[in-house]
Amino acid sequence: MSKLLKRALKISLTPAILMIAGKFLGIMIPSIIYDLEFFVENNIQGLFSIQILFTNPDVTLFINSISNIVMLIILALPTIYFIIKTSIYQSSLQNPRTVVKMTKLNILKWITKQDTTFLQIFIWCTFLIISSAVIIIQSLQNISYQWTGIVAGVVSLFCLWGTVKTFELETDKIYPKENRYY
């Protein structure tokens, strides 16, 4: 196995675990808070052998929508953090005014080293896009509220745009823009 593949697998463990945990917490916390009745069923024929079922279809719609939003937030926050951190770091290397602004805002410690890689941003964004696609499909099938699909689409497009911009910053380090030097 190549070093890049090993590194990608290592990076992808965290978003995968957080995605499952976010979905599970999004199911369990509202169920406990609202004292909703649910039961667990074991179905060997299906894709997922253990299923959490609710007695009322409206409750199922509500819980599925809440769990989708919780999962989306848990994946979106680190992705946006990595994108912003990398963008500010690259901007501070190219523009000294950025360092002055960061010092005034007292966030200089936040951006002092480059520990976020494009591979990490790409993997987090991929997990976010996959979960957003599932949420959008569930919204179109009326398994989840429509606004959850809209929020998922907007967040995934924003993170995809940030990932593309980060890729452009990374390629500018390798292949600098010619108009800057001529």
Give residue 28's pLDDT. Answer: 92
Tokens standing for 78? Answer: 């680190």
Q: How many CA atoms lie within 13 A of 116 on its CB side?
A: 23
Give strand pairing partners of 39: 53
Q: Kindly report, residue by residue over 70-122, the tens digit of the pLDDT.
A: 999 999 999 999 988 888 777 777 777 777 777 777 777 666 566 668 889 99
Give residue 113's pLDDT. Answer: 61
Q: What is the pTM of this model?
A: 0.85
**Cα–Cα distance measured from residue 172 to residue 157, given in angstroms and rounded to the nearest whole number:** 23
**Cα–Cα distance measured from residue 169 to residue 70, given in angstroms and rounded to the nearest whole number:** 31
Give residue 47's pLDDT. Answer: 66
Contact between 152 and 68 (Cβ < 8 Å): yes
3-state SS, residue 30: helix
Alpha-carbon distance values, 13 to 7, 77, 120, 132 (Å): 10, 17, 11, 18
Report the C-alpha dihedral over residues 47, 23, 146, 142, rounded to 10 degrees: 30
Alpha-carbon distance values, 98 to 10, 87, 95, 111, 117 (Å): 32, 11, 6, 11, 20
pLDDT greater than 60 at residue 3: yes
Domain extents for the chain? 6-173
